[in-house]
Amino acid sequence: MSNFWQRTITGTLFVIVLVGCVLWNKYSFIGLLFVICVLGLWEYATLFKGRAHKPNRLGTVVSGSVIALVWSLANLGIENRLLSSYIGGFLLGSLFFPVLIEVIWNKKPSLKNIGLSYAGIFYINIGLFCLSTIGFSHCLDGQVLDARCYFRTPVLGFFILLWSSDTFAYLTGRAFGKTPLAPNISPKKTWEGSIGGAICTVGISFALFKLFGYYNIYQWVGLSIIIVVFGTFGDLIESKFKRVLGVKDSGTILPGHGGILDRFDSLLFAVPFAWAFLMLMSNY
């Protein structure tokens, strides 16, 4: 099978699964984020294989997964105090898991290894937590709704804007790109492509306002600009990260597209800024 058809089939299935999980119900959405988190943590820890300093894979995946499980249950509305106390204790214990694993398993424990573990946990969990919060915690008619209320519109809109930014930047870059954006990191990205992608994505935000409503036009436009700017930064940062480690892709789970981190690098970096913007705008 040619690379083109491999990318096309994988990309189509990827979008169908992602959109399906977002639209189905709150459990499928949270489940999707949890799976992305676990796979992302595993990929992150595996990227350092063979290097002098590397995060402990078991400590990173277990600790990060427990943290993801806790914020998942919180968004789903766990109210049983006894159960919540057990979960809280489990969370505190898991926070020290990378340290314990490093000290027990490594003959020469390294603070750098521990730091790399926590860096990956922070990077992956913060982005996905903010995305889950966008879906679960919003204001409507000036009243804060119960966190168990799930809103598909902002989450789907976020992905549409993210994909629009990537797609139109690629198309306009292919057609008009001449000036490299960051030649030492990603030679194929151009200023023309980025500007064209930004203009098209802002245009898409107007369409989402008309189609979805939910946010006002200023919020949709602001969200589109933040996604373009910080999504691009996220893409460049991961590209630089892979260059330093000497790898082409973060993984192979998505044939023709690389790994989970390759597909969600823009999202993980952009969504915390998008969440902060939406929280700020909700007060006006």
Per-residue pLDDT tens digits for 186-203: 778 888 888 988 999 999
Distance in angstroms (rounded) separating the CA atoms of residues 131 and 234? 15
36 and 143 in a single domain? The answer is yes
Q: Is position 15 within any domain?
A: no
User: Is 207 among the domain residues?
Assistant: yes
* Cβ neighbour number for residue 164 with a 10 Å cutoff: 23
**Average pLDDT of the residues of the chain:** 82
pLDDT band at 145; cut points 50, 70, 90: very low
By percentage, how much of the chain surpasses pLDDT 70? 86
Q: Does residue 11 fall inside a structural domain?
A: no
> In the prediction, which pLDDT does 256 show?
64
Residue 2 lies in a domain: no
My answer on whether 51 and 127 are in the same domain is yes
Distance CA 72, CA 128 (A): 10
Lowest mean pLDDT of 84-93, 101-110, 123-132, 212-221, name the range: 84-93
Q: Supply the range of the domain harboring residue 206.
A: 152-284
Which of 124, 149, 174 marks a domain boundary? 149
pLDDT at residue number 188: 81
- Residue in 64, 211, 214, 80 with CA at minimum distance from that of residue 149: 214
Residue 4 lies in a domain: no
Token reading at 238: 């991961």
Same domain as 223, residue 171: yes
Domain-located, residue 231: yes
Q: Cα dist. 161→42, 131, 188, 189, 202 in Å? A: 27, 14, 21, 19, 8
Same domain, residue pair 127 and 164: no
| Shared-domain flag, residues 165 and 141 | no
For residues 213-218, average pLDDT: 87
Residues 131 and 173 placed together within one structural domain of the fold? no
**Residues 32 and 99 placed together within one structural domain of the fold:** yes
Q: Are residues 131 and 165 in the same domain?
A: no
Give the type of residue at 79: E
pLDDT at residue number 257: 67
Residue 4 in this model has a pLDDT that exceeds 60: no
CB 236 within 8 A of CB 276: no
- Whether residue 124 has pLDDT greater than 50: yes
Q: What is the DSSP string of 30-75?
A: HHHHHHHHHHHHHHHHHTTTTSSS---HHHHHHHHHHHHHHHHHHH
Report the run of H or E that residue 87 belongs to, with start and end: helix 81-95
Q: What is the DSSP letter of 254?
A: B
Q: What is the pLDDT of residue 262?
A: 85
For residue 139, pLDDT over 80 is answered with: no
Are 231 and 243 in a shared domain?
yes
User: What's the rounded mean pLDDT across residues 70-95?
Assistant: 68
Check pLDDT > 70 for residue 138.
no
Last residue of a domain, one of 90, 116, 149: 149
The one-letter code for the residue type at 258 is G
Is there a single domain that holds both residue 175 and residue 262?
A: yes
Tokens of 84: 């919540």
Q: What is the bridge-based pairing of β-strands 143-144 and 139-140?
A: antiparallel
Instruction: Identify the DSSP state of 145.
Output: P
User: Among 189-198, 201-210, 226-235, 275-284, where is mean pLDDT lowest?
Assistant: 275-284
Is 159 in the same domain as 282?
Answer: yes
- Which of 149, 166, 181 finishes a domain? 149
Q: What pLDDT sits at residue 85?
A: 62
Q: Same domain, yes or no, for 166 and 212?
A: yes
Tell me whether residue 124 is in a domain: yes
In-domain check, residue 263: yes
Partnered with residue 182 across adjacent β-strands are 186
Which of the two residues, 224 and 83, has the higher pLDDT score? Answer: 224
Say whether pLDDT at 7 is over 90. no
Instruction: Report how many domains make up the chain.
Output: 2
